[in-house]
């Protein structure tokens, strides 16, 4: 039997590719590694330990920046979308505004001011993920101009919806002439009309618009008139 000599340092030293604190990557399947342990200065017996490494399957869906339209009755679902083979998961929330539950998967909040929230998700093996969501509270007002001048001078040549449009969904803008003919239609909330229909510049006149949208799941409509001036 191999024995260390009396009075010698018998501290074991671990090496992997000569690194003191090695890191390495594995695939999506469990992997077994052989770790050889060498005693200091060669005194004593080398030994081999087999260790099985299980890959983390903690998957999260990144949180995003959110524009929230303020209304005292509007709520927002704050949820940590994560899944893992090693359940259960634990959650720890922190935020610049209070939450109802700091260890729950989700929270329903009623933001009245902009705030930032972070969530730390862990599985039973200690694998973890930290994510952050920034909520910007805005009035989300939109409006439509009362006139435009599509004369090609680069100023006020396009008429379109203005304001904080990012939270609006299922959007459409229709523009009609005085005879009820639709001369422009788009579902792109950032796109506008240049005063041309079927390749022809339209006359100076009063036109009407209709905007359909959804905001926080509620349908809405805006109607009105504007002037085309050349």
Q: Looking at the structure, tell me whether residues 154 and 217 fall in a common domain.
A: yes
The stretch 215-220 carries a mean pLDDT of 84
Distance (Å) of CA 137 to CA 65, 75, 76: 11, 12, 11
Residue 76: which residues within 8 A CB-CB, separation 6 or more? 66, 68, 108, 109, 110, 111, 135
User: For 52-68, what is each residue's pLDDT tens digit?
Assistant: 555 555 555 556 677 77
Q: Count how many domains the chain has.
A: 3
**Is residue 26, in this structure, part of any structural domain at all?**
no
Q: Looking at the structure, tell me whether residues 171 and 132 fall in a common domain.
A: no
Report pLDDT for 40: 53
Q: How far is CA 96 from the centre of its chain?
A: 18
Yes or no: say if 46 and 38 are a contact pair by the CB < 8 Å rule.
yes
**Planar angle of CA 126, 129, 127, nearest 5 degrees:** 20
**Is residue 84, in this structure, part of any structural domain at all?**
yes
State which residues form the domain around 48: 1-11+33-53
**Is residue 1, in this structure, part of any structural domain at all?**
yes
Q: Looking at the structure, tell me whether residues 133 and 146 fall in a common domain.
A: no
The whole-angstrom separation of Cα 159 and Cα 188 is 13
The stretch 118-137 carries a mean pLDDT of 85
Answer yes or no: is pLDDT of 28 > 60: no
Q: Looking at the structure, tell me whether residues 105 and 68 fall in a common domain.
A: yes
State if pTM tops 0.85: no
Q: Looking at the structure, tell me whether residues 46 and 97 fall in a common domain.
A: no
**Is residue 120, in this structure, part of any structural domain at all?**
yes
**Is residue 82, in this structure, part of any structural domain at all?**
yes
Residue 218: which residues within 8 A CB-CB, separation 6 or more? none
The whole-angstrom separation of Cα 190 and Cα 161 is 7
The CATH number of the domain holding residue 82 is 2.60.40.10
């Amino acid at each position: 039997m191999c024995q260390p000599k009396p009075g010698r340092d018998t501290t074991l030293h671990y090496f992997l590719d000569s690194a003191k604190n090695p890191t390495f990557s594995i695939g999506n399947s469990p992997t077994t590694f052989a770790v050889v342990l060498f005693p200091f200065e060669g005194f004593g017996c080398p030994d081999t330990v087999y260790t099985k490494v299980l890959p983390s399957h903690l998957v999260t869906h990144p949180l995003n920046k959110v524009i929230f339209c303020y209304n005292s009755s509007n709520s927002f679902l704050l949820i940590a979308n994560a899944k893992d083979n090693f359940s259960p998961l634990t959650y720890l929330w922190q935020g610049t505004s209070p939450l109802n539950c700091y260890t729950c998967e989700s929270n329903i909040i009623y933001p009245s001011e902009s705030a930032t929230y972070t969530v730390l998700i862990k599985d039973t093996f200690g694998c973890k993920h930290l994510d952050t969501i920034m909520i910007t509270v805005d009035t989300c007002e939109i409006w439509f101009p009362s006139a435009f001048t599509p004369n090609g001078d680069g100023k006020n040549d396009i008429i379109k919806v203005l304001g904080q449009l990012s939270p609006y969904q299922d959007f459409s803008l229709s523009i009609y002439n005085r005879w009820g003919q639709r001369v422009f239609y788009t579902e792109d909330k950032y796109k506008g009309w240049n005063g041309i229909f079927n390749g022809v510049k339209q006359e100076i006149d009063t036109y009407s618009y209709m905007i359909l949208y959804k905001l926080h799941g509620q349908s809405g409509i805006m109607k009105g008139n504007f002037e085309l001036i050349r």
